Amino acid sequence: MSRRLRHVLRSLCICAPLLGLMQLALGQTFPHTARAFAGFYYLSDVINEGDVVHLTMTLSLINFAKRDVNGRSVALLDTSPSPVLLGSFDAIKSPSLSQYLTIKKAFTIPAAEFARWQTGHEPVMEFLVPAQGSPTFEADGIQVHRVLEPAGPLN
């Protein structure tokens, strides 16, 4: 294989996943799911104790809207039609998120919810953003996809 062809193929292997993620986040693939935030998550330390599952979730995010995220947090919700809060990651201590940011947190979730994650449902995550002039929060949905092995930004 020529050196030039190898270089082109290597560039495509690096750029293709990022372009796909950007396309999803901007809603170009699924117009009704445009997201300002997107990322990948990895599960580790999974312990099933019957009715509940203990796990550690590592989440790698990118901010396509270039919003200031200092002090904000990511909420983890269940996959039901009326989502219930399962927990949240600690507040982010970064003035801006224009590159990947990796956060990690241990959660205890219902075993039924974990089973849904194993059958193709992605966890629901929302980035909590304070509403202007109000003590309440607005939620920005996060487009997430699970990776089975940590690589790249998740390391």
10-residue mean pLDDT profile of the chain (155 residues): values are 51 46 43 63 94 95 73 88 90 66 93 93 82 65 81 54
Check residue 98 and give left, alpha or beta (phi > 0: left; psi -120 to 50: alpha).
alpha
Per CATH, is 35-154 categorized as 2.30.30? no
Predicted confidence at residue 63, as pLDDT, reads: 75
What's this model's pTM, rounded to 2 decimal places? 0.68
Predicted confidence at residue 52, as pLDDT, reads: 97
Assess contact for 46 and 54: CB atoms under 8 A: yes
Spatial separation of the C-alpha atoms in residues 143 and 126, rounded to whole Å: 9
The 8-class DSSP code of residue 154 comes to G
Predicted confidence at residue 43, as pLDDT, reads: 94
CATH 2.60.40 domain position(s) in the chain: 35-154
Residue 60 burial class via C-beta count within 10 angstroms: exposed 0-12, middle 13-18, buried 19 and up: buried
